[in-house]
Structure 1
Amino acid sequence: MVNFAKWGPIDKDVIVLASEIDRQFGHIPDGALIEFRFSCKNILDMDALSKSDPILIGTENRFVRLNCPYDRKIGTTEVKKNDNNPVFYTPLYTRVRKIDLKDHVMRFFMLDVDKPDHPLTSLTSHDYIGETKVNMLSVLSEPSCTFTTRLAWEDKDPRASMDGMSNGMKFGGLAYRSHGALGTITVSANVVDETVEHAMVSFSLSAAGLDKMDRFGKSDPYVIVRRALTPDAVVGSPGWVPVYRTETVKKTLDPTWQPASISLCGLAANDLHRQLMFEVYDWDAGSADDIIGYAITTLADMLAGNVSIPVINTEKAAKAARKKKSYDNSGMLTISNTQMTPISGSELGLPAPLDNIELLAWERWTVDDVVCFLVREHKYDVELAERFRAAEIDGFGFVALNDSDLKELGMTVIGRRKRLLGLIHQLKRDSDSVASNRGARASRGLGGAFAM
């Protein structure tokens, strides 16, 4: 994996031939939806009388190597209360173009939330814990698209120069310094299969006859659902990522949990045959939670009807085998009433699909998109792009520019103005052509039906 912390300022170049990208990533469609999931261990304790309350914020910059100074926020996880070993169940999503793989840098930084009702951009309301950066090309090259690395500190809080994270943030050189006490972060990426339409999945969970884990009581069970990262993932390997957790039901060996509802892409990456592991734990107040056992199935089996699976504790099974005693299971887990309800990606808050030529979709451009278009695609200098940003020119404003507007923006050379106006005219013409073709396809009834 590319180690940006080792490099220091992010102005190095990774030389990757187009043919090599095609060889490695030919299975990934252009514009693919990528899901990121996160867990951390031993993060820095920022609170005097309790543990940290961490939240993770994700940003991306597709054009770092061409010195475009803006990150775009892609989302935030949930806040984990009083937890220095957080597992985040809210994924973050983005899309990739193969042409941008080596230039597409993801940045994930963590805050300790002190005042939940204050905006995350407030430097005095939340503490900066640390962060990591990863090149998209590198993370997709990792085994199982998963890596673990130390959190690092920048020289200053990355929010210091933000003008509201929803509008992007500006940063200069990314000079890292390591800090061993910050903890580690594990990042898992997954390509979501969008040949299956998006849906919400609902199901009910219950168990019977679970092992008694508490000396003076029964058990306090809860379930963590994990998705296999690869088809050959085995129990006990790091090839599983947590995607859902139930509430804890106190003092029972026969729990019934609240019905679950999770997106199909969040649960199984839109893959009905992806292995799902249901791990049953016993919650303990003063020590690490005990695992009762696990059960494995697939969403396809869950949709076929109610599923009742033995909960297996590998340690107890191995111990019984050594002593030549019998071991059946540590209880039975029942998954019932599984249903899928179609839903659009926009309703799930997923990034919009890219057009065949992403740059034609100027109607969706933000101010930052205009800036990156100028700097990355057409090599305009950052100083000029800054003036476009200061004038708050988004996609609609960009295509409406005229010669006098460009003069006001500081383009004094007539040849440069004419070339940019010609570029805008071509952008509008090509975009109209794409929209016309898309409308013709829709009128012929080529929309896809919901696929099971």
Structure 2
Amino acid sequence: MAYTLGSTNEGQTRSVGPQHCVTRVELSVTATSLLDRDVASKSDPFCVLFHEVDGNWVELGRTETAVNNLNPVFGVKFQVDYHFEEIQKLRFAMFDEDKCATQLYEHDFLGEFICTLGVIVSNKKLHRPLILANGKPAGKGSIMITAQELSDNRIITLTLSGRKLDKKDFFGKSDPYLEFHKQGEDGKWMLVHRTEVIKNTLDPSWKSFTVPLISLCNGDVDRNIKVLCYDYDNDGGHDFIGEFQTTVTKMSEAQNSVEITRDYTFLDYILGGCQLMFTVGIDFTASNGNPREPSSLHYINPLGSNEYLTAILAVGQIIQDYDTDKMFPALGFGAQLPPDWKVCVYWPCILHAYYTQTHADTQIKL
């Protein structure tokens, strides 16, 4: 049996199925010029990471303590699930360790920094001053947070063929197919992929297929892979033809033409410097109804907002972390604007604000 691995041919579809919306991110923390809370020596800082859950801060983890060090580089990393569509608020708090303390608040507070995970990953490396609990700058001390994606998004494409396989059918040849299994930590074999069946042949060539490397061998190129070959039978009693065991490393050595590529995720683009721009378009046509009536989308409840403002806020709070200038153009369309009252296809909403301020008795006609 022969096998080759490599990149797909030009024009060939390379699909490994839907990607997960959650990506694991590793956060590394360093600090500089921290406050010195000790008398006979320097501070012994450690960092605690909290995330916000229903308005409360919940601890996610702690670094090790850097003894007698005002410029610590912490070896312990924080791992967080990244959800683009959510506002994930994080709090990095620095403390000077007191060996007699049994509660976190008993350690000397050195300062903190609060932001969203979106801000961190959009900057890749974030350097900010520490703030005291009362909101005032700590005066000394800053924190640097670096984000790195942990997900193994390497993919591998295999093209396999067989030669002179055993004849298992009485009135024909064989109908061979392959099964790929990886070995789990418990030593048991788990099915990873099954090829299509090639009818009536002893020299099959199966279609190229692409799988995530983490699915094939848990991302370990030296982990054993078992390949089984069967003759397909309609009654389910498939005849065993043969098997072999190999690894990605061995297959690479055998063919000398292996290329493992990456299936880029959304976070890869963000960490690579991609920015998102947010532009708002608001419908001012009469289809929205009288803005003075509660049934209108433009109606602003004295006790709240309206559906437009709610939608803009929900989207804007997410997108703002990935936009450097934090400027969001807002355009309106479908209204008659002063002074000539002609229907305007679109206009910057700042004009609405201008006319509202300078012509208190002037209103846009729907």
Q: Which is helix-richer, 1 or 2?
A: 1
Q: Which has the higher strand share?
A: 2
Rg larger in structure? 2
TM-score (norm 2): 0.35
TM-score normalized with structure 1 length: 0.30
